[in-house]
Structure 1
């Protein structure tokens, strides 16, 4: 039996990885775990949450899969990619997939381009329809500063462990990502200790890589990577 743990990002929820999960469910008979990290989701509040709680929650989900599955894969998006890397360094994980994983945060050049696009929509009266602007707005206005500091502490805590990851790893990064810059994927590729690792770029993708126009091609790569012997 194969189990697959899929971890969403900071301030996000399972919807961030759901398109990929549905794609894999349609083509496999695997067991999937797609948890909502503490303080996240529609009704969650990040106030007072420590980064250890995010890691511990993911750990417990992984342990549950390990108990019933012979093979376990872990997929992580953004902050979830860093948590996934930690799990691969500490537990028996057979394959690891990192999507827009946040070893570094904010791509100033792309973020400026996204803001300019939002300003153009504002002039044209279409700002409320600009999905990217609405996501940035929610992150800025609804995220406590203390929670952002916890996110940064999580990244700083996990980075020194990346060289311990010996699990075969696929790293996917959007070239138009304004949140996580391409250097994050390059850093992960260079730092992760696994001998078997692959870095792929999705040309037109912004941060939410599982929702980009090229998602089918990405999902196909992920499935091929997980299925290959």
Structure 2
């Protein structure tokens, strides 16, 4: 069939529009950059789903996160629970694509806790506001070696239920744990927690 001038004009206009339309942003890039936008800030959180017995320490102490260190491909977020400054979340852009979440746990002298660097990588693109991190093979082996096999089926989530909330979620069968962080009220600098354990002298990924 011969194309008329009208057909050619329509095809040409469609091609021009396609060329001018920006490609959709990668949801994981949007997600990563949303967290990075809070770099340098600290916020309070609270347990919104948990077990009053096993999660009592979290429920009865002040929870503070710091988006403390951000580079192009990695964000480090210390997590403080009362006087416990042992935890840091590490979110990494992987060279092969996807995101990784690791839990860096330290002892007071800055050395690694035996239960450390567990976590996982995304297996789907997720969304700009939610990413899931099922336990990876390293974590499953670690949980087995340290008699914590109940955690082998862990999936960790980071999400933004709304523009003022970041949620950390741990889920597995018979286990739901959520910490909601209030992003609407950054803490003043003089209310920041002390440095995470090991940050100054021993903090290596």
* TM, length-normalised to structure 2: 0.33
> Which of the pair is proportionally richer in strand?
2
Between the two structures, name the one with larger relative contact order (CA 8 Å, sep ≥ 6): 1
* TM, length-normalised to structure 1: 0.31
Rg larger in 1 or in 2?
2
> Which of the pair is proportionally richer in helix?
1
